[in-house]
């Protein structure tokens, strides 16, 4: 397998378009097209960057270890598992956010607030853990510029969900708040992540 074929195979395996790969490598799309057609070769600096982006060694990229149709085992991440874990973190974050908000709304109206404190604290702890989980998923993005962009987008998403939680606590919108949170999660996973965050979380 030629170097160009390996670049094309790895790009496809990671769900990247030529335009996206070109942007992350700081080159034109035409340059990527020439790489994949073996009309030109990346510089040594670009080869190192490509190997890092694809999570394989430089030897695996330029050597003969990879055969057609294979992705190196033990080097290439399980993208399906990664997408599932990211999707799970986002969903659980919203679920525990709603639970914590609903318990706080109940606590504001309960005569014996101590009865509500335990589930409220539990939901709050789970919400914090899911927030840490979501933040840790950004480490999978090798491009630092994209990672910073993703962090800003996710902070905005969390602020939107926080706004719905505030309305649940102080306006008592209940099930309407839950529906708003669910719709936001759906849009975030299906639209925002693949279009703006370079994370394909659905088929």
CATH number at residue 27: 1.10.260.40
The three-class DSSP label of residue 104 is helix
In a domain, 67, yes or no: no
Q: Is 114 part of a structural domain of the chain?
A: yes
Total number of domains constituting the chain: 2
- CA dist., res. 120 & res. 126, Å (int): 10
In a shared domain, residues 54 and 83: no
Each residue's pLDDT tens digit, 137-147: 988 877 788 88
Which domain range does residue 25 map to? 3-62
Q: Is residue 8 part of a domain?
A: yes
Report the pLDDT value the prediction gives residue 203, as an integer from 0 to 100. Answer: 63
Residues 89 and 187 in one domain: yes
Cβ-based burial of 183 (10 A; exposed 0-12, middle 13-18, buried ≥19)? exposed
| Residue 33 within any structural domain of the chain | yes
Q: Are 75 and 60 within 8 A, CB to CB? A: yes
Query: In terms of domains, do 54 and 88 share one?
Result: no
118/170 same-domain check: yes
- The tens digit of pLDDT for each residue in 24-81 reads 999 999 999 999 998 988 988 888 889 889 988 888 888 654 444 444 444 445 677 7
> Nearest-CA neighbor of 50 among 138, 150, 139, 143?
143
Contacts of 96 (CB under 8 A, 6+ apart): 123, 126, 127, 130
pLDDT, average across residues 79-95: 89
Angstrom CA distances, 109 to 22, 115, 116, 162, 169, stand at 56, 12, 10, 21, 10
């Amino acid at each position: 397998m030629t170097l160009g074929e390996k670049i094309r195979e790895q790009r496809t395996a990671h769900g990247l378009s030529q335009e996206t790969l070109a942007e992350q490598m700081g080159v034109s799309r035409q340059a990527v097209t020439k790489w994949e057609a073996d009309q030109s070769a990346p510089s040594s600096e670009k080869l190192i960057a490509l190997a890092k982006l694809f999570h394989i060694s430089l030897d695996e990229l330029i050597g003969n270890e990879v055969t057609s149709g294979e992705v190196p085992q033990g080097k290439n991440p399980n993208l399906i598992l990664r997408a599932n874990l990211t999707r799970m973190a986002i969903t659980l974050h919203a679920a525990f956010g709603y639970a914590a908000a609903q318990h706080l709304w109940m606590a504001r109206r309960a005569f014996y607030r101590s009865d509500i404190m335990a589930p409220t604290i539990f939901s709050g702890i789970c919400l914090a853990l899911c927030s840490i989980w979501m933040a840790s998923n950004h480490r999978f993005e090798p491009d630092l510029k994209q990672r910073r962009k993703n962090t800003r987008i996710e902070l905005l998403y969390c602020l939107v969900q926080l706004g719905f939680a505030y309305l649940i606590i102080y306006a008592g919108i209940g099930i309407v708040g839950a529906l708003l949170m669910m719709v936001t999660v759906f849009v975030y996973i299906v639209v925002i992540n693949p279009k703006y965050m370079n994370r394909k979380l659905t088929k």
